[in-house]
């Protein structure tokens, strides 16, 4: 047995312990090899450290597996003094439902230019097992189309831009694919936009050959793990483990670690049951949001009100940008209490649809009123 094999099987047995420990508490966490933050968002696993410490790869893989088990964004653990329900209610007080606060949201955004940013998976479409079948409903498409008639609207996603376009099929939107590393403007004119040119920005163009190479290597190395799926998102990759038996997560993580150890210019982050591999450049959904605001001519405007709706750790970068700018707000789509920079929450995509519909009712009323005031 090789050293790597030993590491993986050690970890696998620890996973068993983990399950036991989670019901009986203790032991498991004290056996942690080296504290590692959850793999979320830009909490990248430093590849330099990784390659220097290949000999401790097993320990690292165990830490990854721990993180894979945590949800994304990280769930808030209730302190012993609070029950799960109490924690949930206190979280909802801190991040109230955007549906319940609709009137307040409409009132604070009045007179400002709203710009709408929408994540795709888990926000516009429900999470499903097969990433190739994450379709959005016709009702959701209709609502998003209507929203884009009133305000500039962008889809910001970890997916490959072409792929998300094949799901959304609305030419009037902006699309920021590959976690914002691939941005294109609408191909159909919209009255809110300045001109009709397709803004093209690719933050990581030089990484294309490397990403392609790693895609092939990962496909090859993970092909024997049932349920594992590697998705090529052009400037980044997704290694899905939603359909992989938990007992095999360590083996999968180990293969990913082995491949990445030869690519110090790539980093690993985590989404919902997915390991995401991307260039170590300082670009994320937050930067994409800023880039789009700038492109729309609102970079220095005080009269804008950006709204970003997303469900995943990678959306936190955008929530944080809005919080730091003090403009607009983020809405986290989550039914559970999670650590977030978003201001409001919505439980699931159907609530996203209701929220957007609620805004539309108000915008339609306003434009009717404007028409009447102008005697149209």
Ligand X SMILES: O=P(O)(O)OC[C@H]1O[C@H](O[C@H]2O[C@H](CO)[C@@H](O)[C@H](O)[C@H]2O)[C@H](O)[C@@H](O)[C@@H]1O
The minimum distance between CB 314 and ligand X, in angstroms, equals: 6
The minimum distance between CB 73 and ligand X, in angstroms, equals: 12
Question: How do 200-202 and 229-232 pair as beta strands?
Answer: unpaired
Which CB sits closer to ligand X, 102 or 155? 155
Quickly list H helices, the chain. 3-24, 47-52, 57-69, 84-94, 102-109, 138-150, 161-168, 208-222, 249-260, 285-295, 316-325, 349-373
Q: Is 284 in the site for ligand X (CB under 6 A)?
A: no
Tell me the per-residue interface mask from 240 to 269 with ligand X, x by CB under 6 A, - otherwise: x-x---------------------------
Q: Find the binder of ligand X among 36, 59, 127, 199 (CB under 6 A).
A: 127
- Distance separating alpha carbons of residues 330 and 98, to the nearest angstrom: 10
- For the residues of 228-256, what is the DSSP string, one character each? -EEEE-SSSEEEE-TTS-GGGHHHHHHHH
Q: Which one from 119, 284, 315, 317 is the annotated catalytic residue? A: 119
Which CB sits closer to ligand X, 66 or 317? 317
The minimum distance between CB 12 and ligand X, in angstroms, equals: 22
Q: Per this entry, what is the length of the chain?
A: 376
119 in active site: yes
- Distance separating alpha carbons of residues 149 and 9, to the nearest angstrom: 55
The minimum distance between CB 257 and ligand X, in angstroms, equals: 19
Residue 152 CB-half CA count within 13 A: 25
Region binding ligand X by CB under 6 A among candidate stretches 21-29, 215-223, 272-280, 349-357: 272-280
Q: Closest CB to ligand X belongs to which residue?
A: 158
Q: Find the binder of ligand X among 41, 73, 122, 286 (CB under 6 A).
A: 122
The minimum distance between CB 265 and ligand X, in angstroms, equals: 19
Which CB sits closer to ligand X, 58 or 330? 330
- What angle do helix axes 349-373 and 138-150 make, rounded to 10 degrees? 40
Question: How do 182-184 and 200-202 pair as beta strands?
Answer: antiparallel
- Distance separating alpha carbons of residues 163 and 189, to the nearest angstrom: 22
Identify residues 311-370 at the interface with ligand X (CB under 6 A).
Answer: 312, 314
The contact set with ligand X (CB under 6 A) reads 119-122, 127-129, 131, 134, 157-159, 231, 233, 238, 240, 242, 271-274, 276, 312, 314
Report, as residue numbers or ranges, the catalytic residues. Answer: 119
């Amino acid at each position: 047995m090789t050293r790597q094999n030993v590491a993986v099987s050690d970890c696998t047995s620890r996973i068993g312990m983990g399950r036991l420990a989670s019901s009986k508490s203790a032991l498991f966490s004290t056996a942690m090899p080296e504290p590692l933050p959850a793999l979320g968002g830009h909490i990248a696993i430093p590849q330099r450290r990784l390659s220097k410490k290949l000999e401790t790869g097993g320990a690292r893989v165990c830490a990854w597996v721990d993180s894979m088990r945590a949800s994304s964004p990280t769930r808030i653990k209730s302190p012993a003094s609070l029950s799960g329900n109490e924690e949930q209610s206190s979280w909802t007080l801190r991040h109230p439902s955007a549906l319940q606060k609709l009137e307040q949201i409409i009132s604070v955004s009045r007179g400002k230019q709203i710009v709408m940013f929408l994540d795709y998976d888990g926000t516009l479409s429900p999470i499903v097992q097969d990433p190739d079948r994450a379709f959005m409903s016709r009702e959701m498409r209709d609502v998003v189309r209507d929203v884009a008639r009133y305000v500039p609207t962008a889809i910001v996603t970890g997916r490959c831009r072409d792929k998300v376009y094949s799901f959304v099929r609305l030419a009037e939107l902006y699309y920021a694919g590959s976690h914002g590393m691939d941005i294109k403007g609408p191909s159909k004119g919209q009255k809110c936009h300045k001109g009709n040119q397709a803004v093209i920005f690719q933050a990581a163009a030089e990484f294309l050959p490397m990403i392609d190479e790693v895609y092939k290597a990962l496909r090859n190395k993970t092909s024997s793990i049932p349920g594992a799926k590697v998705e090529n998102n052009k400037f980044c990759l997704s290694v899905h483990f939603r359909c992989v038996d938990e007992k095999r997560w360590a083996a999968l993580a180990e293969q990913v670690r082995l491949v990445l150890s030869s690519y110090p210019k790539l980093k690993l982050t985590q989404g919902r049951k997915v390991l995401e591999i991307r260039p170590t450049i300082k670009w994320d959904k937050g930067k994409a949001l800023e880039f789009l605001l700038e492109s729309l001519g609102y970079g220095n405007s005080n009269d804008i009100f950006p709204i970003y709706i997303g469900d995943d750790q990678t959306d936190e970068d955008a929530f944080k940008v809005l919080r730091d700018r003090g403009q607009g707000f983020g809405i986290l789509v989550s039914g559970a209490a999670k650590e977030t920079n978003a201001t409001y929450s919505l439980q699931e995509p159907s609530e996203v649809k209701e929220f957007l519909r609620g805004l539309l009712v108000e915008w339609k009323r306003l434009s009717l009123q404007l028409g009447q005031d102008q005697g149209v």
